[in-house]
Amino acid sequence: MKKIIAITNQKGGVGKTTTALNISAAMALEGERTLVIDSDPQGNLTSGLGIKKDRIRHGLYDVYTSGASAKNALIETGIGGLYAIAASSDLFGAEIELLEKSERENTLKSLIEPVWDDFDYIFIDCPPSFGLLTLNALVASRSVLVPVQCEYFALDGLSLLIKLLWRIRGGFNVALDLEGILLTMFNRHMVLSHQIADDVRKAFKSKVYDTTIPRNIILAEAPGFGKPAVVYSPDSPGARAYREVAKDIISENMLLV
C-alpha cells in the first residue's frame, strides 16, 4: 500500500527536518522506492541531502507556480532509491501566489499525483507553522507523523496540533490519519525526558512509537556534510533509532495491505 506521509509540528526545533531526512533515507536503504519533498522555504532538508540550492533546476516553487512537472523536479540524491523535490527561499512566494487560486488547498495533491505510482513512500517535510504550504501537504497526505521533543509544554502543543489535524480531516481530507508520534531528543539520563515520554504515551497510547530518538551529535553533524545520519554514520545511536522507526512504518503498512 503506497503511503504519503506529512511530517509536521507547528513548533520549531523538534527534529522535524532531521526526522524527514533520516526516515526517508532509511526507507530507501530498506529497499523502498522513496520520495521526500522539501516543503519548508528554509530548505534545510534540501541542504541536508547535499543538494546545492543554486543548482536546482526545478524546485517545489516551480512546481507550484511555473508549470514545472513533479517528474521534472525529481532529483537523484545519491542514495539508491531516494529522490527529492528540493526547496529554496523562493518557496516563501508560493503561499502568496496560492492565495489567488481556487481549490488552493488541493494544489500540491494534484501536482504530485503523476508521480504517485513511481514510489512506495512519499514524505513531505512541512514548515514549522500552519499556512497554505502546510495545509497543502496535509491535504495531499494520507497520514501525519508528528515529532515531539521531550521537553516542557510538549503535550500542550501536541494536543493543539492533533485538534487541528482533525479539523483538517473534517474539512479537507477525510482520509487523513495519524501515522504516529515520535519522541525526539530523548535523554535517558534526564528525569524530564522520561516524564514527558510517559505523559505522551498515556495520552496517545499506541500512536506513540516504542523507539525514541536520542540526543545525538551525529544527527546534528551529518547534514553539514550533505548526508542523512543513517548514511553518514549508520551505527550511531540516532541513525539506528531512525532505521527502527522506518522498519516499524513498513511493518505497520504491510498489515494494511
Of the chain, the end-to-end C-alpha distance in Å amounts to 6
DSSP structural state of residue 69: -
> Side by side, which strands form the sheet with 75-76?
75-76, 82-85, 34-38, 121-125, 3-7, 143-149, 177-184
In a domain, 185, yes or no: no
**CA atoms within 13 A of residue 141's CA, in its CB half-sphere:** 30
In a domain, 203, yes or no: no
For residue 66, being part of any structural domain is answered with yes
C-alpha span between 96 and 244 (Å, rounded): 39
pLDDT per position in the chain (257 positions), as tens? 689 999 999 888 889 999 999 999 999 999 999 999 999 999 999 999 999 988 899 999 999 998 899 999 999 999 999 999 999 888 988 888 888 877 899 999 999 999 999 999 999 999 988 899 999 999 999 999 999 998 877 777 788 888 889 999 999 999 999 999 999 999 888 888 899 899 899 989 899 999 999 999 999 999 999 999 999 999 999 999 999 999 999 998 777 65
Does the residue 189 lie in any domain? no
What range does the domain containing 36 cover?
3-148+216-256
Tell me, yes or no, if the pTM score tops 0.85.
Answer: yes
Q: Which residues of 209-246 are buried (b: 16+ CB within 10 A; e: fewer)?
A: bebbbbbbebbeebbeebbbbbbbbeebbbbbbbbebb
Cβ proximity of 98 and 104 under 8 Å? yes
| Structural domain contains residue 126 | yes
What grid cell was written down for 23? 526516515
Q: Measured between alpha carbons, how far is 66 from 69 in angstroms, rounded to an integer?
A: 9
How many structural domains comprise the chain? 1
CATH number for the domain that contains residue 134: 3.40.50.300
